[in-house]
Structure 1
Amino acid sequence: MMTRLQGVITAPVDSQSHLKHYVEQKADATKSINTDNLSFQTLTEVTKTILLHAFWLSEQKQNLSLRDYKKLLCDRGWKGEEKKYLKIAAAFNKFSPQDFTQVEPRTIYQLAENSNKYQQVIDRLLDLSEITQEGVRSLIKKQQTPRKARPEKPSIWRRVKNGRRYCQIPPIHEPAELTGTTLQKMMDEEGLTAQHIVAEAIALRQAYKQGQLVLATKD
């Protein structure tokens, strides 16, 4: 089982000495890398470094005053860039950077930037004995199973700039054009607008549906 990182941020750390020590560690480790595996190992070190930096930056934010934290960002040219790393720290605070040495960097950013969407994926990683790129991608793929699209509900409503709305009846297509010709005849003979006639027709139909009118039949 992988080692979970519980309570990563525990005490204030001097940022300069911490980074210097980390860089020295990385330099020593680089000397021992087998050139046959250089590309893969370098990539996994990048992922690990991203997580280490994210946890470290989150630690600084918690332990430094707001003024000192902002100064730290400005001094290192990170202002505006820190948010993505804070998201990583928040998304993976139950893990250790070592847990993700088999995961490429872009996947880490993808999960962290969309942590609400992929929270189930992140939670399921806790159940894995080993986190691999293939395993993470498999969980993401299952999460992205397309859902059946709901049919769009037809609407006659439109809205104007002042916020008021109006109804717009869609075009009526009929082979015999009975509705259109009848409406036009009523407009010509009675001098009424199409809107007025349609409103009357709907009112009459509503009254009939409510039992206020009955359909007369000839004997």
Structure 2
Amino acid sequence: MMTSRQGVTATPVKSHKFEQYTPEQPDATENFSFQALTDVTKAILHHAFWLAEQKHHLSLREYRKLLFDQGWEGEEKKYLKIAAAFGKFEPQDFAQVEPRTIYQLAERSKQYQSVLDRLLDLSVINQETVRSLMKKQRTPRAKKAEKLSIWRRLKNGGRYCQIPPIHEELEQTGTTLQAMMDEEGLTAQQIVAEAIALRKAYKQGLISVLSNE
């Protein structure tokens, strides 16, 4: 594998024309469809490297004119990303990799930088190898913590709050609440509302708890 590109030169300023890449002719024993895919991948990389060279050597005005004349304004960005991501490789290195994978690696080059670095150490790069490295690189997304809510909706558009069941081994909250209801003749809702109001006042420093001392 080569780690630097040789012989890539900018097109002369006065003759802007997209580089023509001539695909190799498939042998009789080769499957034509896979050979055609190989040619597409190499052509993509050839064009990306060439376009990056034009951007580097031409003035901004000349470069924009080149894109305008070819009807490529706005389309060049994806190829410049490819040139940046695969700058240490030769187009031939990825002949056995399908085009969509090339675009994916370039679009997420930061995420797949370790994959690109690993590929530099391989003597043969193929679709299976690249996909395997990409799969290992992917980290499972952390599950977003579900926001707990006590609110429930009514059919008329209103809402009400519903406190979830309280499970305790000694059932202290339930027995205390029931005792208050029996002794004071209040509903559970009234007692809970009062308790929440007292807790809020305590958290705001409006009341304090006195110790036995």
TM (norm. structure 2) is: 0.70
- Structure 1 residue 145: deviation in Å? 4.6
SS of the residue aligned with 2:105?
A: helix
Q: 1:139 & 1:8 partners in 2: Cα distance? A: 30
Does structure 1 retain, via aligned residues, the 8 Å contact 2:10–2:50?
no
Give structure 1 regions of 4+ aligned residues with deviation exceeding 4 angstroms.
6-9, 15-20, 150-156, 174-180
Q: 1:87 & 1:33 partners in 2: Cα distance? A: 33
Structure 2 residue 10 is the aligned partner of structure 1 residue 4: no
- Structure 1 residue 144: deviation in Å? 1.9
Does structure 2 retain, via aligned residues, the 8 Å contact 1:8–1:55?
no
- Structure 1 residue 215: deviation in Å? 5.6
More helix by share: 1
Compared CA separation, residues 147 and 79, structure 1 to 2 (3 A):
closer
Structure 2 residue 55 is the aligned partner of structure 1 residue 61: yes
Structure 2 residue 142 is the aligned partner of structure 1 residue 141: no
- Per-residue Cα deviation, 1:182-211 (whole angstroms, up to 9, x for no partner): 55369xxxxxxx6x973542333676xxxx
Structure 2 residue 92 is the aligned partner of structure 1 residue 98: yes
For residue 167 of structure 1, what is the aligned residue in structure 2? Answer: none
Q: 1:127 & 1:203 partners in 2: Cα distance? A: 66
Q: 1:47 & 1:185 partners in 2: Cα distance? A: 72
For residue 38 of structure 2, what is the aligned residue in structure 1? Answer: 44
Does structure 2 retain, via aligned residues, the 8 Å contact 1:57–1:86?
yes
For residue 154 of structure 2, what is the aligned residue in structure 1? Answer: none
- Structure 1 residue 65: deviation in Å? 0.7
For residue 184 of structure 1, what is the aligned residue in structure 2? Answer: 190
Aligned residues: 187
For residue 173 of structure 1, what is the aligned residue in structure 2? Answer: 164
Structure 2 spans left out of the alignment, 5+ residues: 151-160, 167-173
